[in-house]
């Protein structure tokens, strides 16, 4: 209960300070400092955002390159496989080998 009374008193003091007719002097440079700090934060945020965007583009390009290399590798492997199949069929025909003689 005592804490609640203290809190209530502090709130009343704060509200009373707003109700005073005395105009408090504001530092004329306060607004300019606030604007400067805000613009500095905004520029840092934009710089960070552009860096993230650039890294995302690099990552996408890298993944596409890996995919292209993989596709060319497997296309080449399938071409080699078909050449092997042709060679095996030619050897079968030349030496008259059938399925029972493979093993």
pLDDT in tens, 20-68: 555 556 667 777 888 888 888 888 777 777 777 888 889 999 999 999 9
Query: Rounded to an integer, what distance in angstroms lies between the CA atom of residue 56 and that of residue 59?
Result: 5
Q: What pTM does this model have?
A: 0.39
Look at residue 29 and give its three-state secondary structure: coil
What do you get for the CA distance between the two ends of the chain, in Å? Answer: 95
**CA of residue 90 relative to chain centroid, distance:** 54
Handedness of CA 26, 28, 33, 38 (dihedral sign): positive
| pLDDT per position as a tens digit, 57-91 | 899 999 999 999 988 888 777 767 777 788 888 88
Identify whether the C-beta of residue 91 lies closer than 8 Å to the C-beta of residue 97: yes
Q: Domain limits of the chain?
A: 26-96
């Amino acid at each position: 209960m005592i804490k609640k009374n203290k809190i209530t008193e502090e709130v009343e003091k704060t509200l009373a300070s707003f109700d005073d007719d005395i105009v408090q002097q504001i530092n004329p440079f306060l607004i300019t400092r606030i604007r400067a700090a805000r613009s500095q934060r905004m520029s840092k945020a934009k710089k960070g955002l552009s860096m993230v965007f650039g890294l995302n583009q690099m990552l996408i390009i890298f993944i596409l390159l890996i995919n292209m290399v993989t596709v060319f590798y497997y296309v080449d492997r399938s071409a080699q496989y078909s050449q092997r199949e042709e060679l095996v069929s030619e050897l079968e025909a030349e030496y008259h080998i059938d399925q029972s003689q493979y093993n």
